[in-house]
Amino acid sequence: MVLHDVATGVEQIIHETPDLIEASNWSPCGTFLLMNGGGRVFRFDLETKGITWIDTGDLTALNNDHGISPDGITLVVSQSPARGTSCIYTLPITGGTPQRITPQVPSYFHGWSPDGATLTYTARRDGLFQICTIPITGGDETQLTHGPGHKDGPDYSADGQWIWFNSDHHGSTPDLWRIRTDGTDLQQMTADAPVNWFPHPSPDGHHVLYLAYPEDVQGHPRGQDVALKLMPQDGGTPRTVAEFHGGQGSINVPNWSPDGARFAYVRYARA
């Protein structure tokens, strides 16, 4: 597990393990990271480097799509007991009884609106992966995207006006796109050769961090030579800030520090 300072480019390895761990969420209070491994989620204390496993009740097949509410009180997780069954639940950040949120499966959490009221996620509907939203209390989902292509990795901008995601619906390798939260004004934000996934706007409104695979890679597998790139949130030329062995599990979910000065990611040893 690595912390990256945006201003200096300095990186710090804060945790090493032979076990598979994935997807760092930075807590709103700034004191711990939330991660998953072995079908469970745990807190990693940034001061003591201690690990605390969270009680998620009968949810014991969690995938790497999880997050923390903006007020730091609630945990959202995605449970996948079998392929194509992922369902979104919420529970107290300290652990407790899960509450089902999405009525349909598969649904994979990816972002929480800054006001704490809405979740965005990718969901296979009518055979295609689309971007959806749903109130945090559950109810009817809203499908924001339609038509062909695979759409994935949605996350909110800091002002709550946009949802960023990756898509190949334009007939090319996946690029980054953004759309208004009401489903209007779709805009393409990258148009280059790499296979771009999992955009995460920074909390300070300055940057978008994303994962870039080589152009011949299909999907978002683990065990690839990849890069992390930063681009301005209003669009512009991206720059590479890290190159490493990783991929799936490296930055699937929002991973910025609360002040937007650093981000966390996971890199893997070569097989």
Task: For 13-38, write each residue's pLDDT tens digit.
Answer: 999 999 999 999 999 999 999 999 99
Number of domains in the chain: 1
44 within a domain of the structure (yes/no): yes
Report the alpha-carbon distance of residue 236 to residue 229 in Å, rounded.
Answer: 12
> Model confidence over 189-236: pLDDT tens digits?
999 999 999 999 999 999 999 999 999 999 999 999 999 999 999 999
Q: What does the DSSP 8-state code read for residue 249?
A: T
Does residue 18 sit in helix, strand or coil? Answer: coil
186 within a domain of the structure (yes/no): yes
Q: Ramachandran region of residue 62, left (φ > 0), alpha (ψ -120 to 50) or beta?
A: beta
> Model confidence over 35-51: pLDDT tens digits?
999 999 999 999 999 99
Write the DSSP string, 177-227.
Answer: EEEETTS---EE---SSSEEEEEEE-TTSSEEEEEEE-TT--S--SSEEEE
Give the structural domain span for 72: 2-265
Query: What is the structure's pLDDT at 271?
Result: 77
78 within a domain of the structure (yes/no): yes
CA 133 to chain CA centroid, Å, is 15
Report the alpha-carbon distance of residue 163 to residue 186 in Å, rounded.
Answer: 10
pLDDT at 68 over 80: yes
> Model confidence over 100-119: pLDDT tens digits?
999 999 999 999 999 999 99
∠ CA(71), CA(68), CA(260), 5° rounding?
80
271 within a domain of the structure (yes/no): no
Q: What is the CATH number of the domain that holds 219?
A: 2.120.10.30
270 within a domain of the structure (yes/no): no
Query: What is the structure's pLDDT at 259?
Result: 97
